[in-house]
Amino acid sequence: MARKRRSSRLRYAAEYAGWRVLGVLLRALGPDRASMVGGAVSRRVAPLLPRHERALDHLAVAFPAMSLAQREAIARDVWDNIGRTMAEGFLIDRILADPARITIATPQALAALQETGGRFVITSLHAGNWELGAPFLTQQGLPMAGVYQRVKNPHVHRWITAARAAHYPGGLYLKGQAAARRMLAWGKAGNPSAILADQRLRSGIRVPFFGHAAPSTPLPAFLARSLEYPLFAARLVRENGANFRAEIEEVPVPRTNDRAKDVADATASLQALFERWIRDEPGQWMWAHKRWSRRGPPQRL
């Protein structure tokens, strides 16, 4: 056991050293070249890994009439986007410092967010560059709080959370029940929260997603309904390398005497919006997510 722990510590230390060297190299390249290199490497390597087959399987579930060649092309675009996003993660400050890199396609929706004084809940999905969304809103004077997933390597985990901290003035909370409580408290103080809500949650609400029942997190709808705040969804669509189009839409949240049904209905509306966005840009969403059941392809609704 002691030998195994020592081996893990050495491996983590080596991974972290490589991570830091990678960051130095990518920052030296700058946003455009770093994004291009990240996409090219991922596009070449990722199709050799098991996650590629999972992505193809999920594309077949969502688009049963699509040919294998079409699914392969989309999957390779997915890996390109993920590689670019990972590379850009080392350069978020530089991307935000250049106002020409993010075009606001829905200025009225952004103004609506600002007019709330921070009293809103906003959610997004793993599409385009999802890491830029909350930092971009914080830059617009909307101090965000968020939820994060723990990275296995403790050194890399600490580095990532420290790098993100400046973009989340309300704090970053580890995914789990405690995160929901802390974000509710942050929201009650009149502040906004940001949540990625496109992954499968075993205990979530089952709502339609590409014609199949998908267990989905109710957290965004729960916070909006509980706080009596509006619920918005946002995405940053990749347009050309490390350049993006920001889109924001309000998601209806019913406010009846049945809170549980209101949360379920709002969750269904949110996932329907995600589906529409994914259909618009299928090569920019993370299709390797286990979005439906672990028991194989889901049955049609």
Q: Are 139 and 132 in contact (CB under 8 A)?
A: no
Is 126's pLDDT higher than 90?
yes
Query: What's residue 1's pLDDT?
Result: 62
* Bigger pLDDT: 79 vs 167: 79
pTM over 0.95: no
**Digit-coded pLDDT (tens) for 21-70:** 999 999 999 999 999 999 999 999 999 999 999 999 999 999 999 999 99
**Extents of the domains making up the chain:** 2-284
By percentage, how much of the chain surpasses pLDDT 90? 74
Is 132's pLDDT higher than 90?
yes
Residues 156-175: what's their mean pLDDT? 88
Angle, CA 182 vertex, CA 181 and CA 185 arms, to 5°: 90
pLDDT category at 3 given cuts 50, 70, 90 is low
Is 5's pLDDT higher than 80?
no
* Bigger pLDDT: 1 vs 85: 85
